Amino acid sequence: MFNNQPLPEDVVRLPEIVALLGPYLKAPDLFACIQVCHLWNHLLTPWLWRSIDDSEYSWPTILSNHKNPESQGDKDADWIRAIFAKYGHHIRELTSQWGVILEVANTSGTCNHLESLRIGDLSTSKTRDDDANNSGSNAGANGVPVHRYDGPGPDRHREAATGPLLSPIFEGILEPHQAQHRTVARQELDWATAQHFWLLVRQNTQSLFSLRLDASLDWLCVTTNVDFVFDTLASLVNLVNLENDMLPLNPNILLERLPGLLSYRTRLRFLHDNDSLTRSFSQLIYLEIWGSVPTQTFFTLLKYLPNLETLRMDEFRGVFDFTLEGHLILENTPSRLKTLRFRNPSARVDEQIANLVIPWIPHLTEISLTQLHPATARALGTHCRKLEVVKQIDGSMTIYQDNIHRKPLVNTVGILLRECATLRVFDGIHHTLEASHILKYPWACRDLQTFRCQIIGIPRLTIAEQEFLDSTDDEPQLTDSNNSNDSDSITNNVARKAALFKKKQDSLDVQLQVMDHLAGLTSLTVLDLGYEYRDLAAAQYKKELEPNWTVKIEEGEPTLDSLELTLATGLDRLSSLTRLEIFGFEGVNHRIGKQELSWMATAWPKLKVLRGLHEDDLPGVVEDPERTRLREFMRELRVDVRHATLRPKVKF
């Protein structure tokens, strides 16, 4: 009853209510809010400056131009220093890939309440002045000597220019990197930037909870003393999350020096032959590492990290590197691991993973892998009785090749669906499930919330078969001149129509039963039954070979033996899915029309996203006019429903 009535002024001015808005507003909205009145400015300015990411909003433009003479007196280096001096004490989360931001954050003296400091790729951030003057010269500047290697070689292999040490703590800690293609000014700036970063970290020893060390920090200059890094990290008394892509750190020393560390991510090799874990560390609950991991190392991690809940890694190393002594390493004590992510592109390791790995992680609730192979699926159903989430990773942008060369993973997901009663999410759109398998084996998981999988094996009529069945052409008349041939033709036509009619009826029966099966999944919020079906890889490959080629995507065909998704074939039986928020049918050989969309608009009140009628963003593709009409029709019915594709955006 308050519609179209302004809020009372005393409510707008209540500090408690205004302050509650802060965490839910983005920077542009907060900027507008602080201009409403003095009270809102006072209450919401801290939220505006709480989180700064210099890759967002207007920051990239400001920073790339801050040295430009045209910016002098406007948003130049002095302006950046001034706003950090004024608002730096509000900043709690700083994400930066610009040296000037690290400099002013360090020198302002106000950024000493940081809770999160994340460093992006500092090597890619260049001002327009840097680009204009990137001559690669290594002559000295401002009296700063340029250190060089004694041996011969191109200029880019010479040691970079340095500069003064900003603090005695860096004595004997830093050395110049190779000059590469940097100007002398940039080399000096990088030398200073590395120091500003470490000084900023040391300003926030009491407040930092999260820290990211990017690989580019080692590119700026070389940190020769790893003890300096360990000492700095150890001084962060509240550090619980560390991401390290800068330099390899011995895990024993790292975990010993950081007893409160809960989460560690690194793209560098975590365990080397000479620094394997040697004792138990109970604090770590999340570990993300890259590179192939021998199963002996895997079991060592589980043994010495007894409270580890999440392990994300690249892959298990080779089929011949699987150890048979996992039970000995674990001393016959199963791990408490709950979440595991790894790549398994080859079926060759399926049996080893199923027999040697899965039995020792019975508390698993979530697993992400490239492909779900049969042995792994059976092992998960047997040993992981609390499994809730199965996700596919590293999937391609299209099912084009899947449709041409149907993979041997058909119905593998069915093993999970009938064995894992606790399963809530199956997110594997490249996997397929035959309708006959659905009807033959009942599913144990009746509380599925997300189901992304192709349903195939529907005995659909082809267009030509449907046209023949619908034809009303007069049959040949028997005459004295052509009685035998015409009689055979009539008989053949009648028999063919009878066979096609039976096929159509069988198709209807199967689809109705599949719909009844899906209708029982009343907890579903996401139902995706298809994916991009065109050959995108071929176009990308040709574009790489011929950069001037005008991209043209081959149309391809949807999955022919998929569901029709019409009211006549049982779509209305899904009226029980009242919680459904996302429904996808791209790549499905559907026959959805206005009647079906009208039904969806009413039957699924919580629907937010529809996949299959979205505007095509692929180059060289002429959109189907009927699809456009259906999309506009749905927008008239439900303006709140967004049309999108499950496929990530493709670059050519």
List, for residues 543-582, the tens digit of each pLDDT value.
Answer: 666 777 666 666 678 888 999 999 999 999 999 999 999 9
Comparison of pLDDT for 300 and 547, the residue scoring more: 300
Residue 137 C-alpha from the chain's centroid: 41
Angle, helix 184-203 to helix 99-107, in steps of 10 degrees:
40
Q: Report, in this order, helix, strand and coil percent for the chain, each rounded to 5.
A: 40, 15, 45
**What's the maximum distance between 2 C-alpha atoms anywhere in the chain?**
115
Residue 136 and residue 155 in contact, taking contact as beta carbons nearer than 8 Å = yes
Residue 622 falls within a domain, yes or no?
yes
pLDDT class of 438 with cuts at 50, 70, 90? very high
The average pLDDT across 377-404 equals: 84
Residue 628 falls within a domain, yes or no?
yes
633 class by beta-carbon count within 10 Å (0-12 exposed, 13-18 middle, 19+ buried): middle
Coil, helix or strand at residue 545: helix
Q: In this model, does residue 130 exceed pLDDT 70?
A: no
pLDDT class of 143 with cuts at 50, 70, 90? very low
The answer to whether the pTM exceeds 0.75 is yes
Q: In this model, does residue 30 exceed pLDDT 70?
A: yes
Count CB atoms within 10 A of the CB of residue 395: 21
Residues forming a β-bridge with 643: 610
CA–CA dist 247, 272 (Å, integer): 13
Tell me the two tokens of residue 121.
């790729």
Residues forming a β-bridge with 150: none
Residue 277 C-alpha from the chain's centroid: 30
CA–CA dist 369, 42 (Å, integer): 49
Question: What residues contact 8, with CB distance under 8 A and at least 6 apart?
Answer: none
CA–CA dist 297, 7 (Å, integer): 62
Comparison of pLDDT for 133 and 362, the residue scoring more: 362
E strands along 323-473, which residues?
Answer: 339-343, 366-369, 389-392, 425-434, 450-456
Residue 570 falls within a domain, yes or no?
yes
Q: What is the chain's mean pLDDT, rounded? A: 86
Residue 603 falls within a domain, yes or no?
yes
pLDDT tens across 593-629, in order? 999 999 999 999 999 999 999 998 777 777 889 999 9
Question: What residues contact 84, with CB distance under 8 A and at least 6 apart?
Answer: 104, 105, 108, 110, 111
Quick one: DSSP state of residue 562?
A: S
Tell me the two tokens of residue 74.
């406007």
Residue 618 falls within a domain, yes or no?
yes
Range of the domain at 593: 463-478+508-643
CA–CA dist 293, 144 (Å, integer): 46
Residue 40 and residue 33 in contact, taking contact as beta carbons nearer than 8 Å = yes
Residue 435 falls within a domain, yes or no?
no
Residue 539 falls within a domain, yes or no?
yes
Residue with tokens 């039963």: 513
Amino acid sitting at position 316: F
* Pairing label, strands 221-223, 366-369: unpaired
CA–CA dist 70, 506 (Å, integer): 74
Amino acid sitting at position 632: E
pLDDT class of 292 with cuts at 50, 70, 90? confident
CA–CA dist 470, 501 (Å, integer): 10
Percent of the chain with pLDDT over 70: 85
User: By C-alpha distance, which of 203, 12, 1 is closest to 109?
Assistant: 203
Residue 237 and residue 215 in contact, taking contact as beta carbons nearer than 8 Å = no
The secondary element (H helix, E strand) that includes residue 310 is: strand 310-316
Residue 233 and residue 208 in contact, taking contact as beta carbons nearer than 8 Å = no
pLDDT class of 493 with cuts at 50, 70, 90? confident
Compute the radius of gyration of the chain from its Cα atoms: 32
Question: What residues contact 518, with CB distance under 8 A and at least 6 apart?
Answer: 524, 527, 573, 574, 577
pLDDT tens across 249-268, in order? 999 999 999 999 999 999 87
Residue 172, Ramachandran bin (φ over 0: left; ψ between -120 and 50: alpha; else beta) = left
Comparison of pLDDT for 413 and 67, the residue scoring more: 413
Helix (DSSP H) and strand (DSSP E) numbers for the chain: 24, 20
What pLDDT does residue 137 have? 41
Residue 408 and residue 371 in contact, taking contact as beta carbons nearer than 8 Å = no
Residue 414 and residue 433 in contact, taking contact as beta carbons nearer than 8 Å = yes
The average pLDDT across 533-545 equals: 73
Q: In this model, does residue 475 exceed pLDDT 70?
A: no
Residue 123 falls within a domain, yes or no?
no
* Pairing label, strands 51-53, 582-584: unpaired
What pLDDT does residue 142 have? 36
User: For 343, how many CA atoms within 13 A lie in the half-sphere containing its CB?
Assistant: 12
Question: Mean pLDDT lowest for which of 175-179, 388-392, 416-420?
Answer: 175-179
Q: In this model, does residue 274 exceed pLDDT 70?
A: no
Coil, helix or strand at residue 620: coil
Q: Degrees (nearest 5) of the Cα angle 498, 504, 509?
A: 125
Q: In this model, does residue 14 exceed pLDDT 80?
A: no
CA–CA dist 463, 260 (Å, integer): 65
pLDDT tens across 48-102, in order? 999 999 999 999 999 988 887 776 768 888 999 999 999 999 999 999 999 999 9
Comparison of pLDDT for 577 and 144, the residue scoring more: 577
First to last CA, the chain: 52
What pLDDT does residue 406 have? 47
pLDDT class of 349 with cuts at 50, 70, 90? confident
Number of domains observed in the structure of the chain: 2
Residue 570, Ramachandran bin (φ over 0: left; ψ between -120 and 50: alpha; else beta) = left
Residue 646 and residue 584 in contact, taking contact as beta carbons nearer than 8 Å = yes
Amino acid sitting at position 310: T
Amino acid sitting at position 91: I
Tell me the two tokens of residue 440.
């033959």
